Structure 1
């Protein structure tokens, strides 16, 4: 069904960059080196304001973009990776995912910071 909707949308709106949207919603394969690079760059800590939420948002944007951009279900293994990296329990990881989604969608400054960090880590 989505293919037909996309086809119809392309016919009526050929100027819209649909490939850019498709690329933005495509998840990268879970990669420990990328997780470590993100962790090293942000250095999340309960003592650093918003650092754990920022780390969570970056992980979601890289490995489960549909979950942060469209509020879809988180890809398998992403919540576990967040849990393990931050050294927290499952409930705390789920809470950070929920908060990261909300802040990313509402706060333009936070969103631009997360986008910048993800771009920098991907370009390394």
Structure 2
């Protein structure tokens, strides 16, 4: 719904809408534990990654809450987290890349075959 509103907001381009209304709340949205919100964020990570400042947001406030998806009990959310992490890898600092590798190693033994394949 947020992304639909963004596309149809009158008088404001999607980029302006994102900069004005989404960017200031992005870190807060990633901290919300609701699976629906997490799924929407992760599904649209390719759009959101342009809004994220590497040093101020991605590596300090967004990456850790995003990683909770790797250990979620819902397999679709684990898989979505895995797929969305690929978009962010080039922008992660070395410490977070090491954390990501540890999560990927754990996912190699996941019960879901699609997650093991993608990890």
Tell me the TM-score normalised to structure 2 length: 0.31
Q: Which has the higher helix share?
A: 2
Name which structure has the greater RCO, CA cutoff 8 Å, separation 6+: 1
Tell me the TM-score normalised to structure 1 length: 0.30
The structure number with the bigger radius of gyration is 1
